[in-house]
Amino acid sequence: MADPIVLAEGLHKSFGGTHALRGLDLSVPQGTVCGVLGPNGAGKTTAVRILATLSDPDAGHARIAGYDVVREADQVRARIGLAGQYAAVDEKLTGRGNLRMFGRLYHLSRREAHRRADELLERFGLMDAADRQVTGYSGGMRRRLDLITSLILRPEVLFLDEPTTGLDPRSRGEIWDSVRELVAEGTTVLLTTQYLDEADRLADDIAVIDHGQVVATGTPDELKATIGDHLDVVLEDPAALRPAAAVLNALTGTDPTMTGDDGLSVALPGGAFRLAGIVRELDRAGIAAADVRLRRPTLDEVFLRLTDRKENVA
């Protein structure tokens, strides 16, 4: 396989006593979307800032298109774009004004900056709002403007740090469409998100990170396969929830989560479990189950499991 266009090895970064990255590794093949999925505080922004040359790692190294993000930062900057959760556009300018201003900041000629601004506004559906002040833009429009601002120099690699956090479903869909279009043109995208469905829809590969480390990588399907089957139990009597939870915990070593008023769900470690054995154990404890079934975990469950944020039975 070709060399990865984004490569991070053993990145460490601390802020005072906070160890934000603890040996983070990432590898993204050219032309793909890598979804960096992690809860708040996992280290996503810290990682993106290092890859985008805005911050230096304490240890480890990273390369973009073969260029070291610390020693060859200029080469890296010439090849990347960055858009974040907090739009960096100027509120007082119009959409078109913002794009022209950034074009000039990036040393495009006046003519070139104007041409590129109109091209991007047209392509990403903001032409109608081009001459309105950004103050009057919706959250989604602002975020889209921020995104296209990062495209002025046609980056090879685009970093999107939680591009849809806080947006309504329609605006999220518009951002997703824009990302897909860029990828179709060959742009490599590294996107951070807290949303599983976003990673599932956009990413070729997902890196789940937690506490500054990658805890799992793979396609969405591979990730679902990394944890065993899930067991769902529906009880005949909700009063049996606690004893049933105790039986399932004894069998699996994990606290089940509640599903509705009379249901429990638990991940099974490995593949050594037989439905019949589980039913027998419940039976032995005098617990009547209306339904017991095995199924593949959802991506949500994989995420909660991998990031150790289980919701326990109270």
Q: Of the candidates 4, 35, 43, 297, which one interacts with ligand ADP according to CB under 6 A? A: 43
Q: Find the binding residues for ligand ADP in span 7-26 (CB under 6 A).
A: 15, 18, 20
Smallest separation (angstroms) from ligand ADP to the CB of 171 = 21
38 part of the interface to ligand ADP, by CB under 6 A: yes
Q: Which residue's Cβ has the minimum distance to Mg ion?
A: 45
Alpha helix positions (H), 73-195: 73-77, 95-105, 110-123, 139-149, 169-184
Q: Of the candidates 45, 133, 165, 298, which one interacts with ligand ADP according to CB under 6 A? A: 45
Stretch that binds ligand ADP, among 44-52, 89-97, 101-109, 147-155 (CB under 6 A): 44-52
213 part of the interface to ligand ADP, by CB under 6 A: no
Query: Which of the listed partners (ligand ADP, Mg ion, none) does 42 bind, with a CB threshold of 5 to 8 Å by partner kind?
Result: ligand ADP
98 part of the interface to ligand ADP, by CB under 6 A: no
Smallest separation (angstroms) from ligand ADP to the CB of 198 = 14
C-beta separation of 183 from 132 below 8 A? no
Please provide residue 4's backbone torsions phi and psi, each rounded to the nearest 5 degrees. -65, 145
27 part of the interface to ligand ADP, by CB under 6 A: no
40 part of the interface to ligand ADP, by CB under 6 A: yes
Burial of 37: CB neighbours in 10 Å, binned 0-12, 13-18, 19+:
buried
Nearer to ligand ADP, 17 or 169 (CB): 17
**Residues pairing with 189 in the sheet:** 33, 158
C-beta separation of 289 from 233 below 8 A? yes
Which residues have C-beta within 8 Å of that of residue 144, sequence separation ≥ 6? 124, 125, 126, 171, 174, 175, 178
Smallest separation (angstroms) from ligand ADP to the CB of 267 = 24
42 part of the interface to ligand ADP, by CB under 6 A: yes
44 part of the interface to ligand ADP, by CB under 6 A: yes
100 part of the interface to ligand ADP, by CB under 6 A: no
Residue closest to 209 by CA, chosen among 23, 4, 53, 60: 23
Residue closest to 222 by CA, chosen among 309, 114, 296: 296
β pairing state of 289-295 and 230-235: antiparallel
d(CA 161, CA 45): 7
C-beta separation of 83 from 159 below 8 A? yes
Smallest separation (angstroms) from ligand ADP to the CB of 45 = 3
In the complex, the residues that contact ligand ADP under the rule CB under 6 A are 15, 18, 20, 38, 40-46
